[in-house]
Amino acid sequence: MTGPRILAGKTLAADLQAGVAAEVRRMVAAGLRPPGLAVVLAGDDPASKVYVGSKVKACSEAGLNSRSAILPADVSEDEILGVLDDLNRQEDMDGILVQLPLPRHLDERRVLERVLPEKDVDGFHTINVGRLWLDQPGFAPATPSGVIELLKRSDVPLAGRRAVVVGRSPIVGKPMAALLLREHATVTICHSRTADLPAVTREADVLVVAIGRAGMIGPEHVQEGAVVIDVGVSRITDRAEVERLFPGDEGRLRTFESRGSVLTGDVDFHRVAPKASAITPVPGGVGLLTVAMLLVNTLKAARLRQGVASP
């Protein structure tokens, strides 16, 4: 018996970034300026710094201009809003990304709403959220957009299929459901108060999990032959938990011994994979697509702002 198809995002992410780079070269050759992306980071969260660094690096590799505004953790709300106002006025910056999470004293919604909708390449502004649910042109969040791209390019049928999304965050769960509806799937959203979660998720032809709880989804949650997309990322620091989630995986144990932790997703991969027809790993699955789709959105914003039709 063969195992499930592993839907790794690495190749697709590279293809998407190469496509953006090619379009940027064509824009520049036509006398247009390259797209520009500004990233705003408040505080010194190590993970956020890594994410910002990866976005800046990807911009450089694809030929985009990038700008970083690194602000202290105690930045006032008026100060960060002022930075965003300045970036809104800069003609060479087509996209503005506010790295989340923000320090707790800042009003996240107020800060995100300050970004002009036409520069909101993260798709978090209320106007873009509304456009997404009304099937109007706009920007959709990068991670769920990457999931849709992965499913399409992996020839996973969506029209008429039953899709279940576990998680209702405004960053992944809710936009994921909206994008699946656009593809004519029948969509159910589950969350912490869903009664008998396994009974609901077992109905899914396509199961997308984004709850941030390591290994929560086991084989009892999955029907035979389902496509399982794991968006969650958690860091495990307990050896017993590593041994439970990765039985016999010497590579993971060596990683744990050297680093003191390993990354895993919301899905108990080793126990769920035998039931799935296709599944994403963590790491190496959906996460790699987030930055790539951010570049795609920034290119789209640049073309719209410079009055250039999409190819």
Active site residues: 55, 99, 122
Cβ atoms of 117 and 130 within 8 Å: the answer is no
Across 191-271, the runs of DSSP E, i.e. the strands, are 206-209, 226-230, 234-236, 262-264
Q: Beta 226-230 vs 276-279: how paired, if at all?
A: parallel
Across 72-123, the runs of DSSP E, i.e. the strands, are 95-98
Per the listing, tokens 């930075």 go with 83
Residue 274: cis peptide before it, omega within 30 degrees of 0:
no
Q: What is the length of the chain?
A: 311
Query: Can you tell me the distance from the alpha carbon of 252 to that of 249, in angstroms, rounded to the nearest whole number?
Result: 6
Across 10-140, the runs of DSSP E, i.e. the strands, are 36-42, 65-71, 95-98
CB atoms within 10 A of CB 275: 19
Distance between start and end Cα atoms, the chain: 43
